[in-house]
Structure 1
Amino acid sequence: KIGKYMEKKTSIIEKISSILTLTIKIELIFFQREGYCPTLFF
Protein backbone atom coordinates (compact mmCIF):
# COMPACT_ATOMS: atom_id res chain seq x y z
CA LYS A 1 0.00 0.00 0.00
CA ILE A 2 2.77 2.43 0.94
CA GLY A 3 4.58 1.77 -2.36
CA LYS A 4 1.49 2.56 -4.43
CA TYR A 5 0.85 5.71 -2.40
CA MET A 6 4.43 6.87 -2.94
CA GLU A 7 4.12 6.19 -6.69
CA LYS A 8 0.96 8.30 -6.83
CA LYS A 9 2.67 11.09 -4.87
CA THR A 10 5.69 11.13 -7.18
CA SER A 11 3.48 11.22 -10.29
CA ILE A 12 1.52 14.17 -8.88
CA ILE A 13 4.76 15.99 -8.04
CA GLU A 14 6.05 15.31 -11.58
CA LYS A 15 2.83 16.70 -13.07
CA ILE A 16 3.02 19.84 -10.92
CA SER A 17 6.70 20.38 -11.76
CA SER A 18 6.02 19.96 -15.50
CA ILE A 19 3.15 22.46 -15.31
CA LEU A 20 5.38 24.90 -13.39
CA THR A 21 8.17 24.62 -15.96
CA LEU A 22 5.65 25.21 -18.77
CA THR A 23 4.25 28.33 -17.11
CA ILE A 24 7.76 29.65 -16.40
CA LYS A 25 8.74 29.13 -20.06
CA ILE A 26 5.60 30.92 -21.26
CA GLU A 27 6.23 33.79 -18.83
CA LEU A 28 9.84 34.08 -19.99
CA ILE A 29 8.68 34.24 -23.63
CA PHE A 30 6.17 36.97 -22.75
CA PHE A 31 8.79 38.93 -20.78
CA GLN A 32 11.21 38.72 -23.71
CA ARG A 33 8.52 39.92 -26.12
CA GLU A 34 7.63 42.79 -23.80
CA GLY A 35 11.30 43.74 -23.51
CA TYR A 36 11.93 43.59 -27.27
CA CYS A 37 8.58 44.88 -28.59
CA PRO A 38 6.64 46.94 -26.03
CA THR A 39 4.42 48.12 -28.91
CA LEU A 40 2.72 44.69 -28.91
CA PHE A 41 1.23 45.34 -25.47
CA PHE A 42 0.02 48.91 -26.03
Structure 2
Amino acid sequence: MNPVKKKDFFLLFFYLFLIFFFSKKKKEIKQVKKKISLLFWF
Protein backbone atom coordinates (compact mmCIF):
# COMPACT_ATOMS: atom_id res chain seq x y z
CA MET A 1 0.00 0.00 0.00
CA ASN A 2 1.22 3.46 -0.90
CA PRO A 3 2.36 5.46 2.17
CA VAL A 4 0.62 8.55 0.83
CA LYS A 5 -2.70 6.73 0.55
CA LYS A 6 -2.19 5.31 4.01
CA LYS A 7 -1.68 8.81 5.38
CA ASP A 8 -4.75 10.12 3.56
CA PHE A 9 -6.84 7.27 4.93
CA PHE A 10 -5.65 8.06 8.46
CA LEU A 11 -6.48 11.75 8.04
CA LEU A 12 -9.93 10.87 6.70
CA PHE A 13 -10.57 8.54 9.64
CA PHE A 14 -9.41 11.25 12.07
CA TYR A 15 -11.66 13.77 10.29
CA LEU A 16 -14.64 11.43 10.69
CA PHE A 17 -13.85 10.98 14.37
CA LEU A 18 -13.77 14.74 14.94
CA ILE A 19 -17.07 15.19 13.11
CA PHE A 20 -18.87 12.52 15.13
CA PHE A 21 -17.28 13.80 18.32
CA PHE A 22 -18.35 17.42 17.82
CA SER A 23 -21.64 16.90 15.97
CA LYS A 24 -24.69 16.77 18.21
CA LYS A 25 -27.41 16.70 15.58
CA LYS A 26 -28.09 13.64 13.42
CA LYS A 27 -29.00 15.87 10.49
CA GLU A 28 -25.56 17.49 10.61
CA ILE A 29 -23.89 14.08 10.62
CA LYS A 30 -25.90 13.02 7.56
CA GLN A 31 -24.90 16.16 5.67
CA VAL A 32 -21.26 15.61 6.58
CA LYS A 33 -21.46 11.97 5.45
CA LYS A 34 -22.71 13.15 2.07
CA LYS A 35 -19.81 15.60 1.77
CA ILE A 36 -17.29 12.91 2.72
CA SER A 37 -18.81 10.44 0.25
CA LEU A 38 -18.30 13.09 -2.44
CA LEU A 39 -14.66 13.42 -1.41
CA PHE A 40 -14.28 9.65 -1.69
CA TRP A 41 -15.36 9.71 -5.34
CA PHE A 42 -12.96 12.51 -6.29
TM-score computed with the length of structure 1 as normaliser:
0.54
Higher Cα Rg, which structure:
1
Q: Structure 2: any 5+ residue segments left out of the alignment?
A: 31-42
TM-score computed with the length of structure 2 as normaliser:
0.54
1:31 corresponds, among 10, 17, 21, to: 17
TM superposition outliers: structure 1 runs of 4+ over 6 Å: none
Q: What value does the CA root-mean-square deviation take over the aligned residues?
A: 1.7
Question: Which structure is richer in relative contact order (CA contacts within 8 A, separation 6 or more)?
Answer: 2
Q: What is the identity percentage for the equivalent residue pairs of Structure 1 and Structure 2?
A: 4
Tell me the matched-pair count. 27
Q: Structure 1: any 5+ residue segments left out of the alignment?
A: 1-14
